[in-house]
């Protein structure tokens, strides 16, 4: 068990290191001059040269990489070329927004997927179950940004019940914060919910067919009761795995949803930074996102062993 | 069980939000708060070190003031200077200052601040437009309310530059943290900002002039045009400072909650010719291309016909404006004839454009119309700003390009042979210099000549002038139709 976890940690560290190199190289080959973008159309060659030196982009790639990664290891992500401010605190601030969004999207997805998936599984031979399965198929096919645009049209533009976008920090005005989060969370969660519904359904169906459940049923329990008392934990193993995988998708979806709903999270920060060639900022954001995904996978692996006693060997 | 808990929690959230979702999701909490939507966000508050139009758009005339400002007709009018006189040799400017002016940190504004601010452009500013202040030889503090500026040579352009961010007045006590804490004499001061979201301006209680009608103004930054429109439609904001596409105008015009205002900008959407490159170094070829393009059709496609056909690098708000849009009527036959005269066959040109909606749609029209006269073009959209700036603007690696030239009076760029136009005309350079040094009447006459010469030479093809389209709730009035300065001027706005 401990060895297993340690091996996972080692894999995590190596993956992060490799990811940092890939991110750095990818940004290095992007065409365009950060100094030119920062200075605009009236920049003189002298000023451009001075600014390149100031940014440190006149040095060799190897030097640049090691000075960047050295800083990151000390928690220093460098200074933005555009705002000239420290990137680290800005990352934390934006990460908070993205986590709220992803968290709320996850809640929406689970609230949809668990009961609907169970319903579809228990009634899989009845028309109602088939209908629910069909609906979830349609849900899977709708991308998050499209869901967002439709929701904004209905609830913000036509009905004017909810804001079409914008962000209010929870400590500033809790009511406004919640209202601002509803539509983005729904955009993100509906699609994920539809995806998860299918996994929940098949996991539950799988469990329903197991011997121990038949035993429980023979004691006179209804399928749903038997499932609740004996089957849920087993059914949750594949669902947790998928949840972990979905989290990466959720993060990608969040980038798009943040743009639609004007949320100052990592996603909108990333788009701005790429277009203004704010390379250090892009590197910092991507590293944080990659670290997030890798960490989630790590946690899922560990949870797996907790949930499923059969995996605790070795 | 757990699912049930989640459901309960969600129900509580929904109920809580429904309670507060009475009528609208407006940020405007009260009649004295205004919320204005913009697309481009300032990187920080320091326009002495960071370029980009977004900072002066938010701060100039609202937080910072200069000695003079531009009014809605493009005239230079008094602001912190009550009045000024120019010596006969046009080198000495005497400014009489408004008495009783204070900075937002309480420091009084006097002639010594004028000296401090103007000389600071030379010593501390890093953005390149600071060169407009090179002509200042020295500044004298004659008395607390009288500043004298002596130039090394006469320059009309210098006084005009004072209406921009270059003329902003700073206090020595207020420049310690320009990026985060701007200190100016304007009607507003910066109260707070949330990066990626908004800047909040609050009324400056010590303001010397007319109290602004709105005590709080929220500047909302919404990069996505659709999201910006939705914010106004759903009451999230009160004003869209400038619409970037014509497609959404009908939905606002058809809605009696809103007023749509249209005026002009300084932004010429220009089809640039690389004047240095054969065969575009032959004026007949450039004239042929100009005859070959139906600019009205371009404007109809790109901006539903809203915008102005100009025919030169001069917007109607400049004193030397003349309508030159009819000099080259759409005439494909004439275009072919000129190309034949120039001996050009099988021309294939690279049309390298920024990947921005207006440029992409204009490029389609240009491509098909040039094809009609036998000129093939390859459209190459480049990532803007990074790649376009590097390859087209800096390295001059292009035949044709389409871009908005947003800066005021940027016709002077045709006086720089190293600029990406590759246009080098002794006569134009001489006229520009004379215009800058002459009387205002001479300036107008000379600048008219410059504009006509550029038009005759077909130095570029000015497709159209970008329109200024403001959409606002009916309850907000007092907008200037034309966007002539660098500022989104909040000082005239008031409730209906």
The predicted pLDDT at position B275 comes to 98
Q: How far apart are CA A190 and CA A187, in angstroms?
A: 6
Any chain B CB within 8 A of the CB of A285? no
Average pLDDT, chain A: 86
Mean pLDDT, all residues of chain B: 92
- Give me the sign of the Cα torsion angle B410, B411, B415, B419: positive
Of the candidates B52, B222, B384, the beta carbon closest to that of A165 is on: B222
Quick one: pLDDT at residue A313? 54
CB pair distance less than 8 Å for B231 and A167: no
Cβ of A123: how many Cβ atoms within 10 Å? Answer: 17
User: Does B433 reach chain A within 8 Å, measured CB to CB?
Assistant: no
Q: What tokens does B456 get?
A: 């005759």
Range among A220-229, B22-31, B84-93 rated most confident: B84-93
The whole-number pLDDT of residue B471 equals: 97
Closest C-alpha among A115, A120, A253, A259 to residue A192: A253
**Chain B within 8 Å of A106 (Cβ-Cβ)?**
no
Contact A40 B24 (CB under 8 A): no
- Cβ–Cβ < 8 Å for A128, A118: no
User: In the predicted model, is pLDDT for residue B233 greater than 70?
Assistant: yes
CA dist B284 and B286 (Å) reads 5
- pLDDT tens for each residue of A220-268: 777 777 777 777 777 777 777 787 778 878 888 888 899 899 999 999 9
pLDDT of the residue at B2 = 39
The residue of chain B with its CA nearest to that of A185 is B10
The number of C-alpha atoms within 13 Å of B359 and in the hemisphere containing its C-beta is 24
Choosing among A29, A53, A84, A160, which should be mutated to test the B contact, i.e. which has the most B CBs within 10 A?
Answer: A160
Q: How far is A59 from chain B (nearest CA, A)?
A: 19
**Contact criterion met (CB < 8 Å) for B16 and A178:** yes
Q: Which of A36, A163, A264 sits opposite B195 (nearest CB)?
A: A264
Which chain A residues contact residue B220 at CB under 8 A? 166, 262
Summarised one tens digit per residue, pLDDT across range B289-301 is 999 999 999 999 9
Residue B385: asked if its preceding bond is cis (omega within 30°), the reply is yes
pLDDT over threshold 50, residue B3? no
| CB-based contacts of B414, cutoff 8 Å, min separation 6 | B313, B421, B423, B425, B428, B432, B450, B454, B459
B25 contacts in A (CB within 8 Å)?
A: 156, 160-164, 179
Both structure tokens of A110 = 């689970």
A277 chain-B contacts, CB cut-off 8 A: 386
- On whether any CB of chain A is under 8 Å from the CB of B441, the answer is no
Q: What is the pLDDT of residues B323-343, one digit of tens each?
A: 999 999 999 999 999 999 999
* Inter-chain CB proximity B179 and A85 less than 8 Å: yes
CB A44 within 8 A of CB B125: no
Contacts for A191 with CB less than 8 Å, ≥ 6 apart? A139, A140, A142, A143, A144, A147, A253
Q: Point out the residue among B3, B43, B231 whose CB comes nearest to the CB of A115.
A: B3
Residues with Cβ within 8 Å of B491's Cβ and at least 6 positions away in sequence, in order, are B61, B62, B187, B209, B210, B212
Q: Strands B348-354 and B376-382: what pairing?
A: parallel
Mean pLDDT, residues A263-283: 90
B304 — alpha (psi -120 to 50), left (phi > 0) or beta?
left
pLDDT mean over B146-162: 97
Residue count of chain A, please give it. Answer: 314
pLDDT of residue A141: 79
Categorize the per-residue pLDDT at B6 as very low, low, confident or very high, splitting at 50, 70 and 90: very low
Q: Write out the H or E segment, with its range, that includes residue B6.
A: helix B2-20
Q: How far is B191 from chain A (nearest CA, A)?
A: 15
What pTM does this model have?
0.88
Q: Does B75 touch chain A (CB under 8 A)?
A: no
* Chain A hits for B235, Cβ within 8 Å: 160
- Region B132-144: what's the mean pLDDT? 97
> Could you say which of B17, B51, B221 has the minimum Cβ distance to residue A178?
B17
What b/e sequence results for A157-181 when a residue is b if at least 16 CB atoms lie within 10 Å of its CB, and e otherwise? beebbbbbbbbbbeeeeeebbbbbb
- Report the residue of chain B nearest A107, measured CA to CA: B6
User: Which residue does chain A place closest to B42, by CA atoms?
Assistant: A83
- In sequence order, what are the residues at sequence separation of 6 or more whose Cβ sits closer than 8 angstroms to the Cβ of residue A16? A287, A290, A291, A294
- The minimum CA-CA distance between B343 and chain A, rounded to whole Å, is 36
| Chain B CB within 8 Å of residue A37 CB | yes
CB pairs under 8 A between A and B: 176
Confirm or reject contact between B191 and chain A (CB < 8 A). Answer: no
Of B22 and B54, the structure prediction assigns the larger pLDDT to: B54
Q: Which residues from chain B sit within 8 angstroms of residue A45, using beta carbons? A: none
State the DSSP code for A86: B
Contact B128 A42 (CB under 8 A): yes
- Closest-CA residue in chain A for B17? A179
Q: What are the beta bridge partners of residue B468?
A: B263
- A148, with CB counted inside 10 A (0-12, 13-18, 19+), is buried
DSSP secondary-structure letter at A42?
Answer: T
Question: Is residue B8 within 8 angstroms of chain A, CB to CB?
Answer: no
Within the 346-405 window of chain B, which residues sit less than 8 Å (CB to CB) from chain A?
383-387, 389-391, 393-394
**A218-277 residues touching B, CB cutoff 8 A:** 228, 259-265, 268-269, 271-272, 275-277
| Cβ <8 Å between A157 and B21 | no
- pLDDT in the model for residue A282: 92
Contact A162 B17 (CB under 8 A): yes
CB contact under 8 Å between B230 and A164, yes or no, is yes
Q: What 3-state class would DSSP assign to B389?
A: helix
pLDDT tens digits for range B349-405: 999 999 999 999 999 999 999 999 999 999 999 999 889 999 999 999 999 999 999
Please tell me if residue B231 touches chain A, with a CB cutoff of 8 Å: yes
Q: Which of B18, B195, B389 sits opposite A36 (nearest CB)?
A: B389
**What is the C-alpha to C-alpha distance for residues B193 and A83, in angstroms, rounded to an integer?**
13
Quick check: B28 pLDDT over 60?
Answer: no
Pick from B10, B52, B233: CB nearest A40: B52
> Which chain B residues in 167-186 lie under 8 Å from chain A, judged by CB atoms?
179
Mean pLDDT of A119-133: 84
Q: Which residues of A touch B127 (CB under 8 A)?
A: 39-40, 42
Query: CB–CB of B109/B64 below 8 Å?
Result: no
Q: Using CB atoms, which residue from B13, B50, B129 is nearest to A42?
A: B129
Total Cβ atoms within 10 A of residue B73: 13
β-bridge partners, B150? B92, B138
Indicate the pLDDT class of residue B152, thresholds 50, 70 and 90.
very high
Q: Is B25 on the interface with A (CB under 8 A)?
A: yes
Q: Which residues contact B358 (CB under 8 A, 6 or more apart)?
A: B244, B245, B269, B302, B303, B404, B466
Chain B CB contacts of A152 below 8 Å: 227, 230, 234
Q: What is the mean pLDDT of residues A29-56?
A: 85
Return the pLDDT at A145: 84
Measured between CB atoms, does B39 come within 8 Å of chain A?
Answer: no
Which residue among A30, A41, A264 sits closest to B197, beta carbon to beta carbon? A264
Phi, psi of B54 (to 5 degrees): -65, -30
CB spacing of A31 vs B226 below 8 angstroms? no
Closest CB to B385: pick one of A37, A85, A107: A37
User: Is residue B464 over pLDDT 90?
Assistant: yes
Tens digits of per-residue pLDDT, B194-217? 988 999 999 999 999 999 999 999
Partner residue facing B387 (CB), from A32, A178, A259: A32
pLDDT at position B9 over 50: no
Is B127 in the A-facing interface, judged by CB distances under 8 Å?
A: yes
Q: What is the pLDDT of residue A1?
A: 66
| A contacts of B230 (beta carbons < 8 Å) | 152-153, 156-157, 164-165
Element (H, E) at A150: helix A144-151
């Amino acid at each position: 068990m401990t060895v297993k976890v340690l091996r996972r940690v080692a894999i995590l560290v190596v993956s992060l290191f490799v990811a940092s190199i890939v991110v750095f190289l990818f940004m290095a080959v992007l065409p365009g001059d950060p100094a030119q973008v920062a200075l605009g159309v009236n920049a003189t060659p002298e000023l451009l040269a001075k600014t390149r030196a100031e940014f440190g982009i006149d040095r060799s790639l190897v030097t640049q990489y090691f000075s960047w990664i050295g800083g990151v290891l000390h928690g220093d992500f460098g200074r933005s070329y555009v705002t000239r401010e420290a990137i680290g605190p800005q990352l934390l601030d934006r990460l908070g927004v993205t986590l709220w969004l992803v968290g709320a999207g996850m809640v929406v997805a689970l609230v949809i997927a668990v009961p609907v998936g169970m319903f579809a599984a228990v009634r899989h031979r009845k028309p109602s179950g088939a209908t629910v399965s069909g609906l979830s198929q349609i849900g899977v096919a709708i991308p998050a940004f499209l869901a967002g645009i439709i929701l904004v049209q209905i609830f913000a533009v036509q009905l004017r019940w909810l804001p079409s976008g914008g962000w209010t920090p929870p400590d500033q005005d809790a009511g406004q914060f919640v209202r601002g989060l509803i539509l983005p969370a729904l955009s993100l969660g509906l699609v994920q919910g539809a995806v998860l519904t299918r996994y929940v359904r098949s996991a539950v169906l799988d469990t329903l067919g197991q011997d121990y459940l038949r035993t429980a049923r023979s004691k006179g329990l209804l399928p749903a009761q038997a499932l609740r008392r004996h089957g849920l934990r087993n059914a949750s193993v594949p669902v947790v795995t998928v949840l972990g995988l979905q989290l990466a998708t959720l993060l990608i979806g969040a980038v798009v949803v943040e743009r639609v709903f004007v949320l100052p999270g990592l996603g909108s920060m990333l788009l701005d930074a790429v277009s203004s060639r704010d390379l250090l900022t892009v590197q910092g954001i991507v590293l944080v996102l990659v670290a997030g995904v890798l960490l989630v996978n790590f946690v899922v692996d560990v949870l797996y062993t907790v949930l499923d006693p059969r995996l605790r060997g070795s | 069980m757990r699912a049930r808990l989640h459901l309960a929690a969600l129900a509580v959230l929904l109920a809580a939000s429904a309670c507060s979702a009475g009528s609208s999701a407006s940020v405007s909490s009260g009649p004295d708060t205004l919320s204005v939507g913009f697309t481009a966000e300032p990187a920080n508050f320091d326009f002495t070190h960071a370029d980009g139009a977004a900072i002066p758009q938010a701060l100039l005339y609202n937080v910072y003031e200069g000695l003079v400002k531009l009014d809605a007709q493009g005239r230079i009018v008094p602001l912190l200077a009550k009045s000024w006189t120019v010596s006969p040799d046009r080198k000495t400017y005497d400014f009489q200052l408004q008495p009783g002016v204070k900075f937002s940190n309480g420091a009084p504004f006097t002639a010594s601040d004028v000296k401090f601010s103007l000389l600071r452009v030379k010593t501390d500013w890093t953005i390149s437009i600071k060169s407009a202040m090179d002509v200042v030889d020295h500044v004298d503090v004659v008395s607390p309310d009288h500043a004298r500026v002596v130039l090394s040579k006469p320059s009309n352009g210098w006084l005009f530059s004072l209406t921009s961010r270059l003329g902003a007045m700073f206090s020595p006590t207020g420049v310690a943290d320009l990026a985060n804490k701007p200190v100016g004499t304007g009607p507003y001061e910066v109260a707070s900002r949330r990066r990626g979201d908004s800047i909040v301006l609050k009324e400056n209680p010590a303001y010397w002039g007319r109290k602004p009608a709105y005590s709080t103004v929220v500047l909302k930054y919404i990069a996505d045009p659709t999201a910006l429109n939705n914010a106004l439609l759903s009451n999230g904001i009160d004003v869209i400072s400038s619409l970037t596409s014509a497609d959404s105008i009908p939905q606002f015009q058809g809605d009696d909650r809103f007023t749509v205002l249209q005026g002009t900008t300084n932004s010429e959407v220009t089809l640039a010719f690389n004047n240095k490159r054969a065969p575009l170094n032959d004026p007949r070829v450039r004239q042929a291309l100009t005859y070959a393009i139906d600019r009205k059709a371009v404007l109809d496609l790109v901006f539903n016909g809203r915008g102005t056909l100009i025919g030169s690098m001069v917007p109607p708000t400049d004193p030397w404006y003349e309508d030159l849009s009819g000099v080259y009527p759409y005439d494909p036959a004439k275009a072919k004839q000129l190309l034949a005269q120039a001996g050009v066959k099988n021309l294939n040109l690279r049309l390298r454009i920024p990947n921005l909606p207006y440029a992409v749609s204009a490029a389609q029209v240009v491509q098909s119309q040039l094809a009609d006269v036998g000129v093939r073009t390859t459209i190459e959209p480049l990532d803007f700003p990074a790649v376009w700036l590097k390859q087209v603007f800096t390295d001059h690696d292009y035949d044709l390009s389409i871009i908005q030239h947003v800066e005021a009076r940027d016709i002077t760029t045709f006086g720089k042979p190293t600029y990406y136009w590759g246009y080098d005309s002794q006569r134009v350079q001489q006229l520009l210099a004379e215009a800058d040094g002459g009387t205002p009447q001479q300036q107008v006459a000379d600048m008219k000549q410059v504009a006509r010469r550029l038009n005759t030479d077909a130095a570029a093809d000015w497709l159209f002038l970008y329109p200024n389209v403001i959409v606002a709730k009916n309850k907000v009035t007092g907008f200037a139709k034309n966007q002539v300065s660098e500022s989104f001027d909040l000082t005239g706005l008031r409730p209906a």
